[in-house]
């Protein structure tokens, strides 16, 4: 029994043995009394197991003491208890361990055996140790984060002090930006806009996202060449020399370029039509623009428009969008570093239009000399003068360019190369260039003139020289391997060329003296240059049907129907009673995988039909082009230079053209017309008279007997 002393006295009780009370009461003096018997813990297991459990409790307490200093004394007291008195540890921990509630202490006190009590202690202490370790790890991470933040803050304070000592404070940075704005040579309204944005930047906290947007905007304004220009070298003799060095032939485009630059020199400024080079691939449109830039001494920048569908690619995005940038026009100007570069807009006919916008409409302002002096990019939101930029565009198909934009450009057609021109280009330009690229030393290979001509005729069939360049490179790569392995020089001739390049891809073109009845050649135009189409007509018993094959478009199908109706009309006029009611007519244009369309095949289809009806053969060296009407008139067609080049390449000797195209023949270079007999006609009767003589339908007959 312990009696309380004064009001401030305290008593520390330590249990020494477990007791089961039988009776508890309050005596007359208000003291709590009881009677009972001692109930020590039975062992419940061997001493060795109890000793192991007790040692585990000691180890756990030592680990907990390392994490919490308040448990150090309790862990030390338990460590001093001998293993054979393990129940003393149960009483000590049950009394003084601070984290257990009354229910846990009662459960420990009520354990049936000492082993059960020790196991409860191990379980509870391990749980508490896990919580303490987790709390320690969290505390450590928080502490590390706080230390890192304190370190960054300390370093930032040091950096600010260093900047202050060097005069690089934020205000000094703003002053530097203002000096750059005033020194950039901006127009007054642009400078006012930049200074207004700078004032906004001063008011915005440095960590605000808007601060980065404004800084990027000011960087763009400062970097643009508002008044930096490249001096022009408008020496026409020098320009002509550069153009001749870089390109063989192309006399008409060179003359047009010199005429344009002569006007520029007289006016003293470049304000006028935009040049547009139109021609098949591989004829030198892009390299011609690069040569002009080199001749004028202007920086050259190229922007490919193929596949561009978004108007923002031209005019930029507004700054409200994340990651917004100026359009590609302004980006090219910044890259050039001057406000008067030569800018090539390549493949302008390949632009696309969809729901995102119309790039053609955006280019209207860029290329219009009356509007581009005040071109406004959505990102900059200020005017930029593009009137001093020399714009050159290229296209394969001028018909794909919208008419309003087409009218803003001065179109310079570039025809395909003739065989003689390809030979000279290969000999003087491509072969030396590819020898250097492959790394073959001088004397390692010799290519004869015959081999070059066979390569042009049998391994390429194109308007330009791009495929020819690839074949030359392929040849030299094979030669390089042979030269490295054997170390012997190689001679390439017309005869051994297939050993290096394989089987010829195309048959060498030879003029035919005559064709089978019902066959004629048509001259056609395409984006890749001129071409010759073979028109074939076959007649056989049937129900009077017209069958058209060869991937023909609607316009070409209509031309075939017109040609058949006209042939029927003329045949009935010359030989009344002639009928085709029991005849099926099949018109086929070979290479059926290639789509074909246009009205200019009307005349050759008509000639092929007449040849089939009369059994008369058309010479294999004659080609035709022209749109026909139901009354027999021949209407003018386009693409005349390309068609004549194709006829020349295919070794035609005579071509029939609409008489209305006669003035256009002056635009065709003399080298193309040389060796070609050009026959003009107003009506199909003139063509029939020249080909077959009078009353060709009098000889109307069929391969079988269907007539009465």
- Cβ within 8 Å of residue 583, ≥6 positions away: 539, 540, 541, 542, 544, 702, 706
User: 260 near 288, Cβ under 8 Å?
Assistant: no
If one counts every other C-beta atom within 10 angstroms of the C-beta of residue 5, the result is 9
Residue 506 tokens read as 């195309």
Sole residue written with tokens 């080609």: 623
Query: Both tokens of residue 415?
Result: 């025809």
Choose, from 230, 526, 559, 600, the residue flagged as catalytic.
Answer: 600
429 DSSP assignment: I
- Enumerate long-range contacts of 163-172, CB under 8 Å, 24 or more apart: 170/206
Please count the other Cβ atoms lying within 10 Å of the Cβ belonging to residue 632: 17
Do the Cβ atoms of 114 and 87 come closer than 8 Å?
Answer: yes
Distance CA 389, CA 274 (A): 10
**CA-to-CA distance for 295 and 260, rounded, in angstroms?**
14
Which token pair is 526? 């395409």
- Active-site position among 339, 434, 596, 643: 643
Inter-axis angle of helices 72-80 and 47-67, nearest 10: 160
How far is 316 from 216, CA to CA, in rounded Å?
A: 14
Contact 456, 468 (CB under 8 A): yes
- Is the CB of residue 605 less than 8 Å from the CB of residue 618? no
Q: Where are the beta strands (DSSP E) in 283-336?
A: 300-304
Beta-carbon-side half-sphere exposure of residue 367 (alpha carbons within 13 Å):
25
- Do 494 and 450 meet the contact criterion of CB atoms below 8 Å apart? yes
> Which is nearest to 58 in space by CA: 42, 91, 81?
81
Long-range Cβ contact pairs of 684-690 (< 8 A, separation 24 or more): 684/566, 684/570, 684/603, 684/606, 684/628, 684/632, 684/634, 685/570, 685/632, 687/603, 687/607, 687/624, 687/634, 687/656, 688/570, 688/607, 688/610, 690/656
Instruction: Please tell me the distance from the alpha carbon of residue 26 to that of residue 267, in angstroms, as a whole number.
Output: 126
DSSP character at residue 517 = T
Would you list the DSSP string of 575-613? STT---TTEEEEEE-S-TTS-B--GGGHHHHHHHHHHHH
- Complete DSSP assignment for 98-128: TT--HHHHHHHHT-SSHHHHHHHHHHHHHHH
Cβ atoms < 10 Å from Cβ of 425 = 21
Q: In 267-372, where do the E strands start and end?
A: 274-278, 300-304, 342-346
Query: Could you give the CA distance from residue 682 to residue 176 in angstroms, rounded to a whole number?
Result: 76
Question: Which is nearest to 107 in space by CA: 97, 119, 117, 115?
Answer: 117
Q: Is 426 left (phi over 0), alpha (psi -120 to 50) or beta?
A: alpha
First to last CA, the chain: 150
Annotated active-site residue 643? The verdict is: yes
Which of 531, 639, 645, 640 lies closest to 590, judged by CA?
A: 531
- Token pair for 259: 């005429």
Instruction: Give the residue numbers annotated as catalytic, written as ranges.
Output: 600, 643
């Amino acid at each position: 029994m312990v009696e309380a002393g004064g009001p401030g006295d305290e008593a520390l009780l330590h249990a020494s043995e477990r007791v089961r009370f039988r009776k508890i009461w309050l005596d007359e003096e208000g003291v709590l009394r009881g009677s009972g018997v001692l109930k020590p813990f039975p062992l419940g297991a061997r001493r060795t197991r109890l000793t192991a459990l007790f040692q585990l409790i000691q180890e756990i307490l030592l680990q907990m003491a390392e994490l919490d200093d308040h448990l150090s004394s309790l862990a030390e007291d338990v460590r001093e208890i001998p293993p054979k008195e393990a129940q003393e540890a149960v009483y000590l921990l049950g009394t003084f361990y601070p984290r257990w509630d009354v229910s846990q202490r009662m459960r420990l006190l009520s354990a049936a055996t000492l082993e059960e009590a020790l196991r409860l202690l191990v379980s509870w202490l391990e749980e508490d140790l896990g919580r303490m370790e987790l709390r320690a790890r969290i505390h450590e991470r928080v502490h590390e984060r706080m230390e890192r933040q304190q370190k960054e803050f300390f370093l930032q304070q040091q950096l600010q002090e260093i900047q202050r000592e060097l005069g690089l404070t934020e205000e000094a940075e703003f002053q530097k930006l203002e000096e750059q704005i005033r020194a950039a040579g901006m127009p007054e309204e642009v400078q006012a806009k930049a200074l207004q944005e700078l004032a906004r930047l001063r008011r915005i906290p440095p960590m605000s996202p808007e601060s980065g947007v404004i800084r990027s905007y000011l960087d763009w304004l400062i970097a643009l060449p508002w008044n930096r220009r490249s001096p022009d070298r408008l020496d026409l003799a020098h320009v002509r020399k550069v153009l001749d060095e870089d390109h063989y032939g192309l006399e008409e485009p060179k003359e047009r370029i010199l005429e344009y630059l002569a006007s520029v020199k007289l006016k003293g400024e470049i304000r006028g039509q935009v040049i547009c080079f139109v021609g098949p691939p591989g004829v030198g449109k892009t390299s011609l623009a690069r040569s002009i830039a080199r001749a004028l001494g202007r920086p050259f920048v190229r922007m490919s428009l193929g596949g561009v569908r978004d108007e923002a690619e031209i005019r930029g995005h507004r700054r409200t969008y994340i990651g917004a940038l100026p359009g590609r026009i302004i980006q090219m100007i910044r890259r050039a570093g001057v406000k008067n570069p030569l800018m090539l807009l390549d493949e302008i006919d390949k632009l696309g239009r969809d729901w995102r916008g119309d790039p053609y409409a955006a280019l209207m302002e860029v290329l219009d000399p009356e509007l581009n002096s005040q071109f406004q990019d959505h990102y900059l939101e200020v005017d930029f003068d593009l009137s001093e930029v020399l714009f050159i565009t290229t296209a394969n198909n001028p018909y794909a360019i919208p008419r309003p934009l087409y009218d803003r450009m001065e179109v310079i057609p570039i025809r395909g190369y003739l065989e003689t021109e390809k030979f000279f280009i290969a000999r003087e330009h491509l072969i030396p260039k590819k020898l250097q690229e492959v790394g073959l030393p001088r004397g390692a290979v010799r290519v004869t003139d015959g081999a070059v001509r066979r390569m042009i005729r049998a391994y390429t069939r194109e308007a330009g020289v791009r495929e020819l360049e690839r074949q030359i490179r392929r040849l030299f790569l094979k030669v390089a391997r042979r030269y490295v392995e054997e170390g012997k020089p190689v001679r390439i001739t017309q005869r051994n060329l297939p050993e290096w390049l394989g089987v010829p891809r195309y048959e060498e073109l030879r003029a035919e003296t005559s064709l089978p009845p019902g066959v004629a050649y048509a001259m056609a135009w395409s984006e890749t240059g001129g071409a010759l189409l073979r028109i074939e007509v076959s007649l056989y018993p049937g129900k009077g049907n017209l069958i058209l094959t060869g991937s023909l478009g609607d316009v070409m199908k209509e031309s075939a129907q017109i040609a058949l109706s006209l042939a029927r009309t003329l045949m009935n006029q010359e030989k009344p009673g002639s009928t085709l009611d029991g005849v099926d007519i099949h018109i086929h244009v070979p290479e059926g995988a290639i789509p074909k369309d246009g009205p200019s095949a009307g005349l050759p289809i008509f000639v092929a039909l007449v040849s089939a009806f009369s059994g008369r053969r058309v010479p294999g060296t004659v080609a035709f082009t022209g749109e026909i009407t139901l009354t027999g008139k021949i209407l003018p067609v386009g693409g005349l230079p390309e068609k004549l080049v194709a006829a020349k390449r295919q070794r035609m000797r005579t071509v029939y053209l609409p008489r209305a195209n006669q003035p256009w023949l002056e635009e065709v270079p003399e080298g193309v017309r040389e060796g070609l007999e050009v026959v003009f006609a107003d009506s199909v009767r003139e063509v029939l008279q020249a080909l077959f003589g009078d009353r060709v339908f009098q000889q109307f007959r069929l391969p079988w007997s269907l007539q009465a």
